[in-house]
Amino acid sequence: MNRWNYILVLGLFVVLSSCGKKDKERLIGKWQCDQVWFEFFPNNTYNGGTSILTEIKGFSYSLDEKDHSLNLYTKEDNNTHYLSYKFKGNDTLILSNKLNTALHEITYIRKSTQP
């Protein structure tokens, strides 16, 4: 195998190995920023709270991987949280409000994953 073929095969391996889990799979688990936390489940529901309190339980969420949108629904019809998300590595989730023109990102750290 000549040098260029070796480089091409190595490059292809790097690209294919970086294609890991889908964002929906990466989101599953518990994420925390200071005292605020969210826990996302495979059935498209989430819990959330502050410190040891669970203030939100069993509400729906939707995730659009192409648009990097995460919508968190609540019990109030007019109170949906429209967020942009991005992952930094496997342990960091960065959220920002999609409806706010000023970019204010909040960083959440993974605390656990769901089996």
> Two tokens at 101?
């023109």
Q: Number of structural domains, the chain?
A: 1
State pLDDT tens for residues 42-68: 999 999 999 999 999 999 999 999 999
The answer to the question of residue 11 being in a domain is: no
How high is the pLDDT of residue 79? Answer: 87
How high is the pLDDT of residue 115? Answer: 53
3-state secondary structure 53-97: EEEEEEEEEEEECCCCEEEECCCCCCCCEEEEEEEECCCEEEEEE
Residue 69 belongs to domain with CATH number = 2.40.128.270
Whole-angstrom Cα distance, residue 113 to residue 84? Answer: 21
Whole-angstrom Cα distance, residue 42 to residue 108? Answer: 19
The answer to the question of residue 46 being in a domain is: yes
The answer to the question of residue 71 being in a domain is: yes
Show the domain range for 67: 21-112
State pLDDT tens for residues 65-96: 999 999 999 988 778 999 999 999 989 999 99
Bridge partners of 83, per DSSP, are: 70, 97
pTM of the predicted protein model: 0.77
Are the CB atoms for 41 and 48 separated by under 8 Å?
no
The answer to the question of residue 104 being in a domain is: yes
Task: Tell me the longest C-alpha to C-alpha distance in the chain.
Answer: 63
